[in-house]
Chains A and B, each alone.
Chain A
């Protein structure tokens, strides 16, 4: 690069001055050339790291004990070290971080390496790597402290160019906090779509705002000494990595096709680290795409129809009505009724659910018919006409429509199903006797002990429970984010946040469940059997690499003679 630069024309002392001047020129040819060269090198490194493709376009090859064992995508670094380069922990196996700070910056290596998941197995400190020592480690499996790396780490024979590309990529990987983070604050936003009614909107905002206010009240930062150190871990206390949260409430307006522009504008005004919770009654797709396109974690929104194509940044509680459709399809594929009549509105949630059910049932040879209640009309006896006793009814209806349904006499049909996700607690009394609900939650009696903290907190804050499902979701989202961010210490990278959720959710949930059982036992109550009860409204939550739906099944329930919901099926995972 210097070869072509104008610098060699001048004596060395002038060079410093010229360099200084050049640095001031934001668009200097020199800088541009340099950055495009290094960008190309970083991109080559990224392909090697993430896709297992080397500079020549061939597959990356990794060998263990002298034999080539892994090729291409399977040999890619990202498998174990993950997108963020922060590594992972599986059982006794600690996969070291290999991000820029850890490898190349001795001052920051320690914090990159402090991972509460690994207990005391912190890595030994090591001198900073350079391209040469990194090449030795990768080629021979001997790290720069002279120690043999663990058996999981393959050896790679990379040529000089590939090694330079990998080094360039790693040097910039997870070295600075993601957008939305500064030394004292983590900026977050929640998103509410226009179709959500005022009561639910307020319930969500109150739960989120009050928990953030409470969290900030107890957080000391450099400029605001009030509060205390969290002491969630010794590392957090010593390093003082806690930050205050700033929560924006992004209330969308208008039709879904205008949401992207609104979101982009809001993000430009205030970059955020993650979207915390959120709610929609219909589509969530524009928000989902916004999160993916801007690489922003979308942290457990409450939505009836999440996007199910494989994506990275969006984490959901469940597949919502699509899960319900699959559970019903699995059940009906066994009983094979003559016809399933789906009664619904023409909204996104009901339409998507009905389409999914119809598709699955047609494969099982079951005919479906959709009856749509038109806009401006209410459900009437007519919508329920021309039915035979063998028909199965599926109601994809909510709130007001269920109130109207209550005014119509139930037809003499053996089996009627309702969507628990859409119906919530709005099931009309007159229909309850013969109704079956698809219920993707823990049963009300079972979940009360799991929701002890949730109820106690809302009582303490004098917040009424308007919608237990929504508020419990929001409460869980805050609780889990608090815990996860606290453990991430100063390693505040968005990819890492997602990876922590992938690997921690199940473990943190099972730890909580064990603790709850112990507490119950201490209070002299039974509950000895440790099931993996979660602290949420779902029986259990867990993710894994590329898993994006934490709860994976549903019960089929009915109202018993005391009017309580009782399961009539096992937890069905379609």
Chain B
């Protein structure tokens, strides 16, 4: 096993997990075939919290309505927010796919929540394009997609520390917040629906 490869893999783990994984590496090297690695489920995302200040900008919802971004997020429901763009080939479909499952499961429990997907390619993602996109992921009544001007989209991305210079440079992150004035939880990486729902349920506990 190449040292650099090992180092890359290590970056995905927390310190505690690193010790465990290092042990597994040793075992794997000496007596076990490597595929055992596959059965270990590594941390799927990096977890952090942030006090992001919502910018006072307007956004355009998939139905074409121009709305205040702050009002859309502060209607009392817990929010699960992501950044997407319709012509994204790899990361966004996976995030949207995961959120689609999260949506179905939470809705089944009768829970109230607001899934918010914000376009980082707003000039291409017109309301009509967003509706097409949302159909692919069977979005229900608690999931909205937003576009607007490029400037406003950039402002929102910067507010969430998610601006990476260009849409092709975006990373996989999901943000959630239990209610206004609470901290945001930031999950960076590809979380499974189960893991995201677990984080969500923990977060909304009173």
- Could you list which residues of chain A lie within 8 angstroms of chain B, going by C-beta atoms? 65, 69-70, 74, 79-80, 82, 88-93, 95, 124, 140-142, 145-148, 151-152, 503-504, 506-507, 509-511, 514, 531-532, 540, 542, 544-547, 552-553, 570-571, 573-574
The chain B residue sitting closest to A69, CB to CB, is B97
Given that A91-B172, A544-B87 are known contacts, is A79 also in contact with B2, CB under 8 Å in the complex? no
The answer on a CB contact under 8 Å between A88 and B123 is no
Which residues of chain B have C-beta atoms less than 8 A from A95's C-beta?
90
Task: State the interface size on chain B (CB cutoff 8 A).
Answer: 42
Supposing A142-B35, A553-B123 touch, asked if A544 and B85 sit within 8 A by C-beta, the answer is yes
Question: A124, B165: Cβ atoms under 8 Å?
Answer: no
Contact B172 A80 (CB under 8 A): no
Besides the known contacts A151-B94, A574-B126, 12 further A-B residue pairs in the complex with CB atoms under 8 A apart: A90-B169, A91-B164, A124-B4, A146-B33, A509-B166, A511-B165, A545-B87, A545-B89, A547-B87, A553-B123, A571-B149, A573-B122
Check if B159 is an interface residue, CB within 8 A of chain A: no
A148 touches B89 (CB 8 A): no
Q: Which of B2, B91, B126, B167 contacts A506 (CB 8 A)?
A: B167
Interface residues of B in 135-170 (CB under 8 A from A): 136, 149-151, 154, 164-170
Q: Which residues of B18-75 are within 8 A (CB) of A?
A: 33-35, 37-38, 44
CB distance from B152 to the nearest CB of A (A): 11
Binding site for A on B (CB under 8 A): 1-2, 4-5, 9, 33-35, 37-38, 44, 85-91, 93-94, 97, 121-124, 126, 136, 149-151, 154, 164-172, 190, 192
Q: Is the CB of A151 within 8 A of B190?
A: yes
15 A-B residue pairs with Cβ-Cβ distance under 8 Å, sorted by A, are A69-B97, A90-B89, A91-B164, A91-B172, A92-B171, A93-B171, A124-B5, A504-B168, A506-B167, A507-B165, A542-B121, A544-B86, A544-B167, A544-B168, A573-B122
Can you list the 3 inter-chain pairs with the closest CB atoms, starting with the nearest? Answer: A544-B87, A146-B34, A507-B166
Residue of A whose beta carbon sits closest to that of B124: A547
- Selected from B90, B168, B169, the residue in CB contact (under 8 A) with A152 is B90
Asked if B91 and A152 sit within 8 Å, CB to CB, the answer is yes
Partner of B90, one of A65, A74, A93, A504: A93
Give how many A-B residue pairs fall within 8 Å (CB-CB). 110
Q: Measured between alpha carbons, how far is A510 from B94 in the docked complex, in Å?
A: 26
Tell me whether chain A's interface is mostly helix, strand or loop, or mixed: loop
Knowing A93-B90, A542-B121, A547-B124 are in contact, say whether A148-B37 is a contact too (CB < 8 A).
yes
Q: CB < 8 Å: which of B38, B90, B91, B164 contacts A142? A: B38
Across-interface contacts of B166 in A (CB, < 8 A):
506-507, 509-510, 542
A65: chain B residues at CB < 8 Å are: 192
Chain B residues with Cβ below 8 Å from A571 are 149
Residues in A with CB closer than 8 Å to B167 are 506, 542, 544
In the complex, the answer to whether A147 meets B34 with C-beta atoms within 8 Å is yes
Complex interface: chain B residues within 8 A of A544 (CB): 85-88, 121, 124, 167-168
Q: How far is the CA of A492 from the CA of B97 in the complex (A)?
A: 34
Q: Is the CB of B89 within 8 A of A88?
A: yes
Query: Could you say which of A509, A514, A547 has the most chain B C-beta atoms within 10 Å of its C-beta?
Result: A547
Q: Is the interface of B mostly helix, strand, loop or mixed?
A: loop
**Contact, CB under 8 Å: B34 / A90:** no
A571 to B123, CA, bound (A): 10
Point out the residues of chain B lying under 8 angstroms from A142, CB to CB. 34-35, 37-38
Verify B123–A573 contact, CB threshold 8 A.
Answer: yes
Q: Pick the residue among B88, B121, B151 that contacts A90 (CB under 8 A).
A: B88
> Which residues does chain B contribute within 8 Å of A504, judged by CB atoms?
168
Partner of A573, one of B34, B126, B169: B126
Contact of B38 among A92, A148, A545 (CB under 8 A): A148
Nearest CB of chain B from residue A523's CB, rounded to whole Å? 23
A547 to chain B, nearest CB (A): 5
What is the minimal beta-carbon distance from B161 to any residue of chain A, in angstroms?
A: 14
Given that A147-B34, A148-B37, A151-B190 are contacting pairs, would A570 and B149 also be in contact in the complex, using a CB cutoff of 8 Å? yes
Q: Which residues on the A side are within 8 Å of B190 (C-beta)?
A: 151-152
Whole-angstrom CA separation of A124 from B150 in the bound complex: 38
Chain B residues near A507 (CB, 8 Å)?
165-166, 168-169
Q: What is the chain A residue whose CB lies nearest that of B41?
A: A65
Smallest beta-carbon distance B103→chain A, Å: 15
Q: What residue of chain B has the Cβ atom nearest to residue A504's Cβ?
A: B168
Complex Cα–Cα for A124 and B7 (A): 12
The one of B89, B124, B150 in contact with A80, judged by C-beta atoms closer than 8 angstroms, is B89
Interface centre among A544, A552, A571 (most CB of B within 10 A): A544
Instruction: Given A146-B35, A147-B5, A547-B124, check contact A79 B165 (CB 8 Å).
Output: no
- The residue that A79 contacts in the complex, of B4, B90, B126, with Cβ under 8 A, is B90
Q: How far is the CA of A151 from the CA of B90 in the complex (A)?
A: 11
**Contact of A151 with B44 in the complex, beta carbons under 8 Å:** yes
Complex Cα gap A553–B150 (Å): 11
Do the beta carbons of B168 and A89 come within 8 Å of each other? yes
